Amino acid sequence: MNIHTYIHTYIPAHHLSETDISNLDVVSALFIQMIILAEKSDNFDSDDYDGEVTQGAYRPAPFTDANGAAIANACYKKAIKCSGAVLRLFYQTVKPTVDLLRPVTQGEIHSGLIGIPFEAQAKSYNRPFSDADFIKRVDFEYAEEDAPVPADWTNACSDTTPDAEYKYTCPWTNSIDDDKVWVRAIAIDDGYCDSLLEKIWIKIDSTPPTVTNTSP
């Protein structure tokens, strides 16, 4: 599916009202961003938009019609959403993981996490990017292939009681196996990259790193 077909499949006529924009999830917002960058594509009908071509690249400048404003609005809202995604990654995944699993090779484990909002913001511009992509990517980096989702996750974590410091009392660390722990990016429903994050399961090796004491 080329970008032109893709845009018209998911954003019919790409004429969005302010209400439409407000209801966009981040994936849809990314599709709007794709519209902006689609000017690079020969497939795109550039007559639909005002704009200028500078150094071979498209800029939304100046958007003086409703379409242009809607696109600029989408860029702005997407920046808020993906900023929220970083916060969420930290508060809901990284922070509790660090709290619970110290000492773990945190830098190595979490370094890839931050790539998720980056990809959501930039890397997905020029091609379809679905929930499945994210799941696949995260699984690829953080879990063994076909690793089982813990069957008792729902029950085990239904009693989770976060305190002010965001620590869980979930028994997962003992319920899966000896040296692995599951951490889940908690699903939420308010429009922050939800469809991207809610299905992410991350399997982390909780074995403490080998420490070599080099001091005399």
Partner 1 sequence: MEQSQRKRIYALLNKRILTIILLFFLAVGSAAYGYGGDEHWDITIKARTNYRNWVLADPDNRVGASAVAINQDDVASGSVDEDYPTSQAPWLEHYMDPDTGEGLWGNNSAYDRAMDADHWPQVLSYYENGNYTDAYHTLGRVIHLVQDMGVPAHVLLDPHWHLIWPIEDPDWYEHTYIHTYIHTGSPFI
- Binding residues (CB under 8 A) for partner 1: these are 18, 33, 36-37, 40, 54-55, 57-64, 69, 72-73, 75-76, 78-88, 90-92, 94-96, 98, 102, 106-107, 110-111, 114-115, 117-118, 121-126, 162, 164-166, 186, 188, 190, 192
Token couple for 192: 């922050």
Asked whether the beta carbons of 71 and 175 are under 8 A apart, the reply is: no
Residue closer to partner 1 by CB (options 64, 178) is 64
Tokens of 150: 């813990």
Identity at 186, one-letter amino acid code: I
Which residue, 75 or 147, is less far from partner 1 as judged by CB?
75
Comparing CB distances to partner 1, the nearer of 38 and 176 is 38
Nearer to partner 1, 95 or 147 (CB): 95
Cβ 52 to partner 1, closest distance in Å? 9
Complete DSSP assignment for 13-82? GG---HHHHHT--HHHHHHHHHHHHGGGSTTS-GGGS--EEETTEEE-TT--SHHHHHHHHHHHHHHHHH
CB-wise, 60 or 150, nearer to partner 1?
60
CB of 146 to partner 1, least distance (A): 29
32-66 as b/e: b if 16+ CB within 10 A? bbbbbebbeeeebeeeebebeeeeeebebeebeee
Q: How far is the CB of 149 from partner 1 (least distance, A)?
A: 20
Q: How far is the CB of 75 from partner 1 (least distance, A)?
A: 5
User: CB–CB of 64/49 below 8 Å?
Assistant: no
Q: C-beta of 83: minimal distance to partner 1 in Å?
A: 4
- Helix or strand holding residue 152 (H, E): none
